[in-house]
Structure 1
Amino acid sequence: MAPQERREDLIRSALRVFARRPPGEVTPEEIAAEADVSRALVYRYFPNMGELRRATLQHAMGELLAELEPPEHLPTLEQLRVALRTFISFAHSYAPSYPALMSGGSVIATEETEAEIDRVREGVRDLLLDRSGVEKPSPQLSLAIRCWVASVETAVMLWLSDPVMERDALADWLLDQLVAMVAAAGGPQEELEHLIARVE
């Protein structure tokens, strides 16, 4: 393989392993076995596991952001429902790794990995505002959206450990929480009326 192809193959191999085991427990030998290469080759491209985790997380977050873009022809609420289901499916596919990736205090957390996760959070915030048609959100609405994104991360983490409802039901419940939080945010009345008009 060409160097870039080999690097991408190692990242894809790492993603498959991280879908089965928490990244903090994975060794270079496991990545090498998954990619059917030598341990030395893994180290040639990634001097340590931290580098490989960062590259893998960056790749995964990039894919997630692309997949979160729902079809624009759908009604606003349906677009958000599609995006939520996509996020939940992503978290489920990496269930063993999801808590470690989303926790700032985890053994794999670094400034770089947290920056990648923040990139997704900001992407979700921008998506919500774009689909709502609000160009200059009030401080109340901005805070409500940020709090909702945090609640989604926590709810999905709890759901992965104890799936008390079906996946689509979880997405619907989280969407209901978003609507309730936005309605109770306390922003300008015209902002609320605009949002209501977009989702009706």
Structure 2
Amino acid sequence: MARPRRRLSPDARRTELLALGAEVFGQRPYDNVRIDEIAERAGVSRALMYHYFPDKRAFFAAVVRAEGERLFEATNTPPLPGQTLFGQVRFGVLAYLRYDEEHPHRAWAASTGIGRTDPLLRGIEDIDNDRQADRILGRMAAVIGGPMDDKVERDLRATVYGWLAFTFEMCRQRLMDPSLDVDLIADLCAHTLMDGVGRLPGIPAVLADAVAAPQR
């Protein structure tokens, strides 16, 4: 059903279109969505829709980018006083799962963009992964309390990127099957990262202690 036409600022109109796009792309495959339908449901002209987004690919990419921003903000929580590294990671995964529960269509729209062969969408995924990885590595650097050896930082970064792919897939599985227990997923993801980091050779002793079983 078309929404009544309202006068909005350009930024507010664009935000509204992206939210509607996330809802629609989250319910149907990309190829089954028409840009004209989005315009009709938003109560705007086709010409105005194309003023904001030159084609469906650009619109979908903007939807995925916007959802990545929302998800990053939803999971960008500062550590609590005395919280262990395991607790911080687990808390972040729970925030991710909570966002998926509260915005299932938006989350699904974003997940359909990840892994596509389109270079534009791959670029968005890379940016999102870079930010998430930098945040996690920043937490590890805070534990170490100083600069890392180049080789250690390289190995940690590779481990974190692999872990992000695993965690994303676990959260996507719960989108498909909400009966999966959120605490189980959060525990599994957090333990997986701690175990992976703990197996890396040459990490500082203080980081090895922080990811060890007694700190979980």
Q: TM-score normalised to the size of structure 1? A: 0.82
2:94 pairs with 1:79: no
Q: 1:161 aligns with which of 176, 197, 206?
A: 176
- Name the stretch that deviates more: 124-133 or 14-23: 14-23
Structure 1 unpaired stretches of 5+: none
Per-residue CA deviation, residues 48-99 of structure 1 (Å, 9 max, x unaligned), is 1111112222211122222221222241322211211222344552354344
Rounded to whole Å, the distance in 1 between the matches of 2:60 and 2:49 is 12
Rounded to whole Å, the distance in 2 between the matches of 1:103 and 1:43 is 26
Instruction: Work out whether residues 17 and 30 of structure 1, in 8 Å CA contact, stay in contact via their aligned partners in 2.
Output: no
1:128 paired residue number = 136
Percentage of matched positions with identical amino acids? 23
The one-letter code sitting in structure 2 at the alignment partner of 1:128 is: I
CA distance in 2, matches of 1:82, 1:147: 19
Instruction: Tell me the residue number matched to 1:68.
Output: 75
**Which of 119-128 and 158-167 deviates more?**
158-167
1:3 is aligned to 2:17: no
Corresponding residue of 1:29: 36
List gaps (5 residues or longer) in structure 2. 1-7
Distance (whole Å) between structure 2 residues aligned to residue 9 and residue 177 of structure 1 = 38
Offset at 1:142?
2.3
**Do the aligned residues in 1 keep the contact of 2:79 with 2:88 (CA within 8 Å)?**
yes
Whether 1:114 aligns to 2:99 is no
Distance in 1, Cα, partners of 2:108 & 2:132? 23
Note if contact 1:54-1:112 (Cα within 8 Å) is conserved in structure 2.
yes
- Distance in 2 between the 1:143 and 1:95 partners? 25
Aligned to 1:165, the other structure's residue is in SS state coil
1:195 aligned residue: 207
C-alpha deviations, 1:81-125, integer Å up to 9, x for none?
A: 1211222344552354344211133xxxx3222111111111121
* Comparing 87-96 and 13-22, the one that deviates more: 87-96
TM-score, normalised by the number of residues in structure 2 = 0.77
User: Helix, strand or coil for the counterpart of 1:97?
Assistant: helix
Amino acid across the alignment from 1:54: A
Q: How many residues align?
A: 193
Which residue of 38, 41, 50 corresponds with 2:48? Answer: 41
Q: After TM superposition, give the deviation of residue 163 of structure 1 in Å.
A: 4.8
- Choose 1 or 2 for highest CA Rg: 2
The answer to whether the 8 Å contact 1:69/1:83 transfers is yes
User: Are residues 180 and 15 of structure 1, via their aligned partners in 2, closer, same or farther at CA, if it must alter by over 3 Å?
Assistant: same
Distance in 2 between residues matched to 1:179 and 1:34, nearest whole Å = 46
One-letter amino acid matched to 2:96: F
In 1, Cα distance between equivalents of 2:31 and 2:100 = 17
Residue in structure 1 matched with residue 187 of structure 2 by the alignment:
172
- Cα-Cα RMSD: 2.4
Alpha carbons of 1:79 and 1:24: their partners in 2 closer, same or farther (altered >3 Å)? farther
